[in-house]
Amino acid sequence: MISYTFDFSFLLTTWPAFMRGAWQTILLAGSSIAFGFVLALVCAIIRSGKSKLAAGLVGAYVEVIRNTPLLVQIFIVYFGLPSLGLRLSAETAAVIALVINTGAYGSEIIRAGIDSIAKGQIEAAECLGLNKLQIYWHIVLIPAVERVYPALSSQFVLLMLSSSITSQISAQELTAEANMIQSETFRSFEVYLIVAAVYLALSVLFRVVLWAIGEVAFVRRRKLRT
Amino acid sequence: MSVNEAAGTRPRNEAVPGAEPIIVVDNVSKSFGPLQVLHGVSLTIERGTMVAIVGRSGSGKSTLLRCMNALDETNGGTIKVCGNAVAMSDRASVKRLRTDVGMVFQSYNLFPHLTVLRNITLALTVVQKKARVEAEKIARDVLALVGLADKAESYPEQLSGGQAQRVAIARSLALSPKVLLFDEVTSALDPELTGEVLKVMEDLARQGMTMVLVTHEMAFARRLADIVVFMHQGKVWEAGPPAEIFADPKTPELRQFLSSGL
Amino acid sequence: MIQFSSTHLIYLIEAARWTVLLSVLAFIGGGAFGLVLALGRVSQHKWLRWLSAAYIQIIQGTPLLVVLFLAYFGLSILGLDIEPIIAAGLSLTVYTAAFLGEIWRGCILSVPKTQWEASNCIGLSRAQQYRYVILPQAARIAIPPTVGFMVQIVKNTSITSIIGFVELARAGQIVNNSTFQPFITFVFVAIIYFAMCYPLSLASRHFERKLNVGK
């Protein structure tokens, strides 16, 4: 075994690039989560809805996405769609692929929440005179999302981490920055150690922010703990 | 339509002179697949009375109650509530029904994600379009009525079963229904908690609320019901004032039911 | 330009064998290590609990791609001139173990406490409690999520294409480089992945239903 001296001196000059990469990942993952959540919500509503055809189509979409790798999905969006005449920037392709991915996983989670709402809840709301739409919003959807919010949050953190794959189409984000830095400094191992630490920090940050959003959105959680 | 007008145009009920029928069940049948649970049930419930429906489980009593409130569809016969025919398929009639009828369930069915206060104000604000302030005033009033004024900010899971059921009653009361249906509301409660719920129901009865209850609380029915209806095998087997029903059962089925202690 | 043809399809399917092999390696390695982690998480020794929790937290907070780079470059600075398959297998093992460890910990904890008490009362040692009472019950609960996670493993192997390991995703890139027909190429790649993953998804759901019925 040869001796190896760790050398982190490259950080002195490259730390702004790491920070820029981290910020780009926050933007990329943040926007993908926001749009992905909306898509997931819509898909969950359709899947638990009355139209068999629409539910079947959404079901097929969910299965296809959940059973193919994100990397291949990204390749299809970025390399494949231009051959069909749709040319996208790497960042747009990355967001689209991540949103499609989150939409599928998120809708499964939300659907589980919707399925867990007891029938008696709906009957009670009917007896109070709420119409279908009001029941769906107040009694089904909001409590369903509240119930599965922890699972959704974990899924969103996983999405942030897997956004590193979009470096493969040179979307601007943390891993892509790191690839650039390591090709200039040749301190590959150290560079990726730093990147791992930054991702760890980002996953803590995302968890904290998602938790805080949950605290604001779902008052009961906050109240019952105190 | 005033009470007097109605009394003048409709046949008077002999048992309660001067009363106005508020629910009229006429020859109603109901099947779940091959299983027929109601066989031509007819029943008239007068305004201001408390009617207790008793019978073994599977006798169809809960189904009858659910049909009255359009939670289950009937397969034959008609149900009229406050003069309107109940039909699950007719949206307008169901909407009308919801303003006339309140229902309290065995499993409370409070909304777990909302505070007690919001449980009560929800329908007031989103259905009746009342202002938040007004809705909250009504909610606090009905909460005081069931003795839970201090629980307004609590969540359902922080309540005992008895308290939850009283909130459920308050939630129905807040919409000022003309009739309240109670579906085995004390069956899920520990014996020491049923008393507080029955007390609230007794207060309501004394104030003249029209109430239909499916119940196992024989002593309560005996003491407070105006009419006791014994259901057996999907039919109204016997009905009458509690004094007659309990003291002088006409059929062996009722006699057996009463002696079984249920 | 070469048209995408059956030759390319056969090439893709042959490359998929490496995906399968890598998945099996990751499952065996990650499963063995994951069991150790799961037992560590529920250990009576505080430092063992802490150590496995820290491992799981760190790996679950790091992208697989970065774990892969660390394995690839880390092994090379140890002076080992390594085959990509070693780095690929190692990083997938490391990564899989963290997730399976956490899943299985949940399964162990979901065995009712009374089972521990009852087996303690009949005089079983802690190891015997695990061997005869706890793990058999936990295993039953673990089947659906474990099979479900196999889908993730198969999909995760695609990331090893990035260090040049020629499995299905890398083969897709190679085919694309000669045909310049990315859409059809990657759709076929996706179909082959789907053919491997979907049966696992269905099986996971089937086991879950069976488990729920048995309850």
pLDDT in tens, B46-95: 999 999 999 998 899 999 999 999 999 899 899 999 988 988 888 888 88
What is residue B4's predicted lDDT score, i.e. its pLDDT? 37
Q: Chain A to chain C, count of Cβ pairs less than 8 Å apart?
A: 117
pTM above 0.90, yes or no: no
Of the two residues B19 and B1, the one the predictor is more confident about is B19
Mean pLDDT of B189-207: 91
ipTM of this predicted structure:
0.92
Minimal Cβ distance to A123: which of B71, B114, B128: B71
* Chain B contact set for A143 (CB, 8 A): 111-113
> Does residue A7 sit within a domain?
no
Question: Between helices B116-126 and B132-145, what is the axis angle to 10°?
Answer: 130
| Element (DSSP H or E) covering residue A41 | helix A11-47
Decide if A5 is inside a domain: no
End-to-end CA distance of chain B: 41
What is Dmax (Cα atoms) for chain B? Answer: 56
- Give, in order, the Cα–Cα distances in Å from B30 to each of B26, B73, B232, B236: 12, 7, 14, 14
**Residue B135 C-beta-side C-alpha neighbours within 13 Å:** 19
Tell me what pLDDT residue C193 has.
97
Among candidate residues A97, A66, A105, the one with its CA nearest the CA of residue C193: A66
Q: What number is the average pLDDT over the span C116-137? A: 86
The CA distance from B14 to the nearest CA of chain A, in Å, is: 31
Taking the Cβ of residue A119 and every Cβ of chain B, the question of whether any pair is shorter than 8 Å is answered with: no
Give pLDDT < 70 ranges for chain A: 1-2, 225-226
Please state the rounded mean pLDDT for residues C171-185.
91
> pLDDT tens across B19-46, in order?
689 999 999 999 998 999 999 999 999 9
Inform me whether the pLDDT recorded for B12 exceeds 50: no
Q: Find all residues with CB under 8 Å of C28, minimum gap 6, and list them.
A: none
Task: Check B111 against A139: CB less than 8 A apart.
Answer: yes
Tell me the mean pLDDT in the region C30-37: 97
User: What domain range includes position A29?
Assistant: 13-225
Q: Say how many domains are in chain A.
A: 1
Span B151-178, average pLDDT: 94
Compute how many other C-beta atoms are within 10 angstroms of the C-beta atom of residue C174. Answer: 17
Class of domain B3-259: alpha beta
Q: What is the mean pLDDT of residues C17-22?
A: 95
A8 located within any domain: no
Superfamily of the domain at C6-214: MetI-like (1.10.3720.10)
In a domain, A73, yes or no: yes
Per-residue confidence (pLDDT) for residue B19, from 0 to 100: 67
Tens-digit pLDDT profile for residues C82-92: 788 889 999 99
Cβ atoms within 10 A of the Cβ of B171, count? 29
End-to-end CA distance of chain A: 56
Position C183 scores a pLDDT of 92
Query: Is residue A109 domain-resident?
Result: yes
Q: How far is CA A90 from CA A87, A167, C47, C134, in A?
A: 10, 9, 45, 50
Across C171-181, average pLDDT: 91
For residue A18, the one-letter residue type is: F
pLDDT at residue A112, rounded to an integer? 93
Torsion angle (degrees, nearest 10) of CA C38, C39, C40, C41 = 50
Of all residues in chain B, what percent carry a pLDDT higher than 70?
Answer: 92
Asked if A38 contacts A105 with a C-beta cutoff of 8 angstroms, the reply is: no
**Residue B8: per-residue pLDDT:** 33
Q: What are phi and psi of A121, to 5 degrees?
A: -60, -45
CB pairs below 8 Å between A and B: how many?
A: 68
Residue A7 contacts B where some CB pair is shorter than 8 Å = no
| Phi, psi for B48 (deg, rounded to 5) | 80, 10
CA pair distance A91, A102, nearest whole angstrom: 16
pLDDT of residue B233: 92
- Taking 90 as the threshold, does the pLDDT of residue C4 lie above it? no
Contacts with B179 (C-beta within 8 Å, 6 or more apart), sequence order: B22, B23, B45, B81, B82, B100, B101, B102, B209, B210, B211, B212
Give the pLDDT band (50/70/90) at residue C106: very high
The domain that contains A122 carries what CATH number?
A: 1.10.3720.10
pLDDT of residue C6: 87
In a domain, A57, yes or no: yes
8 Å CB contact of A120 and B95: no
